């Protein structure tokens, strides 16, 4: 039995905490994944996993083996890709994570031309609104919007992402159009709880900064849901432009307080500092920067 394949099975089970999920990731049966791991444990003469009916977890030896096993497999994958790339084509796996709403819309639209030009690049895209530990999950690249929290990761800014205050024309007809930021205190405000200051909105104009404290009855961690609720007339939302630009274009939403500006988020590509930035990853980051650098303006 191929030693490399048994190591791949082991790493997949460690990442997924499940033989079944590891099999799905590798395109193998659960039985074969289990057989590979048992073969590896037999070769090493040690137990790598604690197994129960509900959970699979690494033993101490298994955790130490995983730490050394991952870079070996990454180097092997990189050698295979290097041979193909030396023949002129970008090739090999790219494991990418991004927020669900942005990843399923604007990011996917930007990735399509890249993948068409480079059909030998194997994209594995994990969309989630939870923060993913890149090294532990074997992720090459993360796309994130907002203030950066992972100081250990290397970041490249791809674009500015304006935040726009908006509401449906129906809501504004029923409740009036606020003339100042302070007037928002009397309106139903829809809150994005991804933001560090959940119940505080900040605006600027020529006179300086205006801070508004909210009593938002509706909160969500999804900018897409925020946009749809605002378009449905539930209140005023402060949302990233990518999530509302279509609704603004078709008049389902309109800008509120257009003479005041809110904060601007950053759109970033992040990767681990110890991860070799392959030619395909550099090309992908450059492509995304080109796609997004002039994409959003208020």
Tell me if residue 235 falls in helix, strand or coil.
coil
Rounded mean pLDDT, 240-259: 93
Greatest pairwise CA separation for the chain in angstroms? 73
* Structural fold of domain 162-264: D-Maltodextrin-Binding Protein; domain 2 (3.40.190)
Name the band, by pLDDT with cuts 50, 70 and 90, for residue 298.
low
Architecture of domain 84-160+266-292: 3-Layer(aba) Sandwich (3.40)
Fold agreement between 3-73 and 84-160+266-292 = no
Closest by CA to 139, choosing from 295, 5, 15, 55, is 15
Rounded mean pLDDT, 150-166: 87
Q: For residue range 22-66, what is the model confidence (pLDDT) as tens digits? A: 888 888 889 999 998 999 998 899 999 998 877 888 999 998 988
CATH code of 3-73, in short, is 1.10.10.10
Tell me if residue 247 falls in helix, strand or coil.
helix
- Over 90: is that where the pLDDT of 249 sits? yes
Q: For residue range 77-104, what is the model confidence (pLDDT) as tens digits? A: 777 766 766 666 788 889 899 999 899 9
Between 87-96, 139-148, 276-285, the lowest mean confidence (pLDDT) is in: 87-96
The beta strand positions in the chain, using DSSP E, are 49-51, 56-58, 92-98, 121-127, 141-145, 154-167, 189-192, 200-205, 208-213, 218-220, 236-240, 254-255, 261-262, 264-271
All structural domains of the chain with their residue ranges = 3-73, 84-160+266-292, 162-264
Q: Which residue has the tokens 């009036």?
A: 176
pTM: 0.72
- Over 90: is that where the pLDDT of 164 sits? yes
Residue 268, pLDDT score = 94
- Over 90: is that where the pLDDT of 252 sits? yes
Q: How far is CA 35 from the centre of its chain?
A: 34
Q: For residue range 101-128, what is the model confidence (pLDDT) as tens digits? A: 899 999 999 999 999 999 989 999 999 8
CA angle 78/271/87 to nearest 5° reads 30
- Over 90: is that where the pLDDT of 131 sits? no
What is the share, in percent, of the chain residues with pLDDT greater than 90? 44
Report d(CA 200, CA 19) in Å as an integer: 45
């Amino acid at each position: 039995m191929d030693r490399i394949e048994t190591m791949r099975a082991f790493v997949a089970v460690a990442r997924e905490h499940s033989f079944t999920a590891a099999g799905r990731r590798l395109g193998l049966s659960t039985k074969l994944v289990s057989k590979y791991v048992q073969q590896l444990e037999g070769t090493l003469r040690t137990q790598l996993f604690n197994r129960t009916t509900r959970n699979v977890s690494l033993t101490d030896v298994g955790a130490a083996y995983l730490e050394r096993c991952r870079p070996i497999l990454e180097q092997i994958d990189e050698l295979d890709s290097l041979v193909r790339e030396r023949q002129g084509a970008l090739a090999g796996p790219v494991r990418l994570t991004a927020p669900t709403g942005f990843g399923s819309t604007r990011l996917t639209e930007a990735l399509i031309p890249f993948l068409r030009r480079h059909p030998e690049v194997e994209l594995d895209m994990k969309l989630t609104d939870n923060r993913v530990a890149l090294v532990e999950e074997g992720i090459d690249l993360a796309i994130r919007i907002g203030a950066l929290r992972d100081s250990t990761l290397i970041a490249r800014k791809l674009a500015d992402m304006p935040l726009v205050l908006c509401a449906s024309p129906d809501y504004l007809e029923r409740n009036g159009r606020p003339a100042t930021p302070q007037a928002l205190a009397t309106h139903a405000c829809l809150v994005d709880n991804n933001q560090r200051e959940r119940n505080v909105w900040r605006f600027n104009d020529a006179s300086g900064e205006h801070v508004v404290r909210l009593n938002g009855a509706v909160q969500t961690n999804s900018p897409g849901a925020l946009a749809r609720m605002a378009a449905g007339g539930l209140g005023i939302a402060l949302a990233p432009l990518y999530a509302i630009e279509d609704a603004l274009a078709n008049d389902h939403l309109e800008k509120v307080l257009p003479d005041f500006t809110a904060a601007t988020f950053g759109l970033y590509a992040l990767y681990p500092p110890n991860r070799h930035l392959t030619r395909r990853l550099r090309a992908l980051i450059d492509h995304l920067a080109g796609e997004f650098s002039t994409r959003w303006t208020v």
